[in-house]
Chains A and B, each alone.
Chain A
Amino acid sequence: MRVKKMFGAATTAVLVSSLVMAGCASNAETGGNEGKAPANTGSAAPAPKETVTLKAYFPGDKPAGFDEVLQAVNDKLKADNVGAALNVNFLPWTDYGNAVSVKMSAGEDFDMYLDAPWLSMNQMIASNSLVQLDEMVAKRPELQASIPEEMWEYNKFDGKIMGVPLGTTQGQLYGLLIRKDLREKYGLPELKTLDDLETFLYTVKEKEQDVKPFVINGIKADKLPFILSDSANLALDEVLEIGVNMFAYSTKDKKVVGQWESPMIADAYERVTRYYQDGILSKNIAQEQNAETLFKQGKYAATYYAADGVEGLKYSEMLQDGSDKLEVFIPNGDQAKPYTAFQQWNFLCIPASSKNPELAMDVANWLSIKENHDLMEYGIQGKDWEPVGETSYKVLSSYTFPGYVLTWRPTLNRTPDTMSADDKKWFDFSTNPANFTLSPTAGFNFNAEKVKTEYAKITPLHDSIFLPLNQGLLAAEEGKKTLGEKMASLGGQKVIDEIQAQIDAVVAGK
């Protein structure tokens, strides 16, 4: 009896709470989050399609003012008779990967989400959890045209489009951001070569009391050998990055090698070692996580720069006083034509469990029209932003949409008007595929499935030896030797052989 009673009470409680939740949901609908706005008053011409709400999962925090923008997007989707409305859910970064995997394996019905090889994309593809998009892309001209040919071509998985590649730049251009005012203070000419840079850094070290030469986050130091080499940014790299940590490909003898072994960037390892010992690189580099803040506070004369449209903007507040105290130094800038695999890091994917893949792609296509793209990415015109020419805009509100989850299109991109002239120059440079050299390994994506055990064993070497070597903490000679030995003893050769086999297959297929 008692049990029955309790059971009854429990059921009631569940029922009540589900009713309450349903109430919330319908409130949200009328609140407009899902944009099921009543009858369309505008265009009457073609029979208005029934609106299907598409569910999307993206990482990060919901941008400030997102609800209004989403409402505007959904209204416009309705007005343009796309037949879809968006229900966008942001999941915190910390849970995103797991949450999406779980939703996927639980077979939850949703229509689009951000995935990437660094998240779970390869596993998802292996398990047939994603919709192949080739045909659907071919049928959507705006989407196809908004993304350069090379980007489509070299972001396929096993020759298939498994996600819409999201990106702005076509390759990585490395350099440093330096304090122009300090350079001028000591009467140094504009930096053209690594020697100029060295003079600048050592001058600061010698003459400045409160400003130290160079700060970079410990984790970013793996880029130093590519910045501080005489071969930087030139496509004469005998060794090029292949997207697998610590390994590189020698175009000369077509072999996969440890990046640290490359003779081409050996000069950079020498420099890093010397800079660390001479105190040009911070003694705190292994632990450094606040490079950005420290540089902004004016405590350093140089920091890391990448022409990706993000890195440079971090420092725009330093220019708010109207000064032009920052400049970008790109080693070998005038002849730069770096290798690129045209590889992108983020993809809009459609899960196989989605009931509306065609419609989801219609929305992706719709977002490839400049007006719609701008609405989603920059917000409501006049309220959130204002156009400045065709490729720039003025920020009016705090609305910042993470474009890399949905809207990034190299051809439609606008840069904020706070971007410094130098930064814009190199960023625009980077969005044009013609400024890059096609990497011979383009199209290669490492799949570690066959050498999982060995790969798991060598991965920790990245943090324990490879990074300290790149930071200058381990002197070049000694560090390279230790790393080579450890790598060999942990079965690194098996991983190298597997990468080699996969690259050979890609190269042979061309």
Chain B
Amino acid sequence: MSYPLSARKPSKLKHIAQNPFLYGMAVPGLLFFLVFSYFPIYGVMIAFKDYNYAKGITGSEWVGFRNFEYFFTSDDFWVILRNTLTLNMLFIVFTTVAAVLIALMFNEIRNKYFKRISQSLIFLPYFMSWIVVGMIVQSLFGGEEPMVNTWLQSMGFEPINWMFESKVWPYILTVIRVWQGAGYLSIIFLAAITGISEDLYEAARIDGASKPQIVLRITLPLLVPTIMIMTLLAVGKIFNGDFAMIYAIIGDNSMLYPTTDVIDTFVFRSMRQLRDFGMSSAVGLFQSVMGLIFVIAANWITRRVSKESALF
């Protein structure tokens, strides 16, 4: 927006006063985050306390960093940290790439009905409960005669004992994740693509640009800010293992822990007997703080590369 030189740029407050309805629309969202994200930060102190139901949050004793001790001195600390980060990175990279490709392909479909139906279908797995996904995976890879092995054998390959091969699971989990999440993400990207001005395409066509050229030179570059924002948001949760997904699929199969045990499943198992609020909050706090650091770092890098794509 540009203003005549004579007029001064209006202050924020004035801007709000001039557009009450526009800003009013932000109120529910702001309230939501205030109540469910900002107020609860008060509870962070549980991580530093020997929390006791009866004494309450403020009444419980301070214990400094004692609650953090168990997690950081755990035997498998580095393994689960590595697993959490690797799995999440695999998820982020492959889901994003797949989503962009899907969005680009959808953008080329001209038949309205076919487009709508395939959009819905590809979106569908996103709504599927992880428990159901876990059951499907069980029937594909589990049991004494896994279905996948029957296929492999019919094609002349050696059967694999999936439930013992921890090495293959990061890939299987990535495929499942892409299948589940890429559709959702692609709809967001598709919306961004739809927002690209038709003039640009028209100009390109007049200049005789080919389809691939248009995609590579116009659609993709203009999609980058959206991709960056979605990625930055995902990076914020990079230290949070997807408990629902991992636990529903891997469950208590210890043979697969070496590659699939993430912070959240590990903490769940450690706390099964103790149920200690303080210790679990300590790990939660660690995840959030690391997530924050990663977002700031990723944003800083993004800023250096392209200013418009950065989140803040």
Contact = CB atoms under 8 A, between A and B. Distances in A.
Interface of A: 97, 101, 104-105, 120, 123-124, 126-129, 212, 218-219, 245, 282-284, 286-287, 289, 448, 452-457, 459-460, 462-465, 467-468, 473, 486, 489-490
Contacts of B213: none
B64 interface: no
Interface string B246-290: 000001111101000000001001111111100100000000000
Contact of B253 (A212, A245, A287): A287
B269 A489 contact: no
Interface stretch (B51-59, B93-101, B120-128, B204-212): B51-59
Nearest to B279: A456
A289 B266 CA distance: 20
Contacts of A287: 138, 142, 163, 251, 253
Given A218-B252, A287-B253, A457-B70, A105 B274 contact: no
Contact of A453 (B66, B75, B254): B66
Contacts of A489: 75
A452 B70 CA distance: 8
Q: Which of B53, B55, B254, B269 has the most A CB atoms < 10 Å from its CB?
A: B254
B275 A123 contact: yes
Given A452-B279, A459-B269, A464 B66 contact: no
B199 interface: no
Given A127-B54, A459-B269, A289 B251 contact: yes
B61 interface: no
Nearest to B266: A460
Nearest to A98: B275
A287 B75 CA distance: 24
A456 B53 contact: no
A219 B55 contact: no
A455 B142 contact: no
Contacts of A289: 251
B70 A105 contact: no
Contact of A127 (B52, B74, B163, B276): B52
Interface of B: 52-56, 66, 69-70, 73-76, 138, 142-144, 161, 163, 251-255, 257, 266, 269-276, 279
15 contacts: A97-B275, A104-B53, A123-B53, A123-B275, A127-B52, A127-B55, A219-B252, A452-B274, A453-B70, A456-B270, A456-B276, A457-B70, A457-B75, A465-B254, A490-B74
A374 B143 CA distance: 42
Contact of A473 (B143, B255, B274, B279): B255
Given A129-B53, A459-B270, A468 B254 contact: yes
B273 to A, nearest CB: 5
B166 to A, nearest CB: 12
Contacts, number: 95
Contacts of A490: 74-75
Given A129-B54, A456-B271, A463-B269, A468 B161 contact: no
Contacts of A454: 70
B53 A101 contact: yes
A105 B269 CA distance: 25
Contact of A124 (B53, B70, B76, B276): B53
Q: Which of A455, A464, A489 has the most B CB atoms < 10 Å from its CB?
A: A464
Contact of A463 (B143, B161, B252, B271): B252
A101 B142 CA distance: 37
A128 B54 contact: yes
Given A105-B54, A452-B276, A460 B76 contact: yes
Contacts of A473: 255
A268 to B, nearest CB: 20
B257 A464 contact: yes
Q: Which of B144, B161, B255 has the most A CB atoms < 10 Å from its CB?
A: B144
Nearest to B54: A127
Contacts of A101: 53
A490 B75 CA distance: 7
Q: Which of A101, A120, A289, A452 has the most B CB atoms < 10 Å from its CB?
A: A452
Contacts of A218: 252-253
Given A284-B144, A486-B75, A467 B53 contact: no
Contacts of A452: 70, 274, 276, 279
Contacts of A129: 53-54
Contact of B163 (A105, A284, A457, A464): A284
Contacts of B266: 460
A127 B270 contact: no
Given A456-B70, A463-B254, A126 B52 contact: yes
Contacts of A124: 53
A455 B276 CA distance: 11
A452 B251 CA distance: 25
Contacts of A455: 273-274
A289 B255 CA distance: 15
Nearest to B257: A464
A464 B55 contact: no
Contacts of A283: 144, 161
A460 B269 contact: yes
A459 B273 contact: yes
Nearest to B57: A105
Given A124-B53, A452-B279, A465-B254, A460 B270 contact: yes
Given A127-B53, A287-B251, A457 B74 contact: yes
Nearest to A289: B251
B273 A245 contact: yes
A460 B71 CA distance: 11
B107 to A, nearest CB: 42
Contacts of A448: 273-274
Contacts of A463: 252, 254, 257, 269
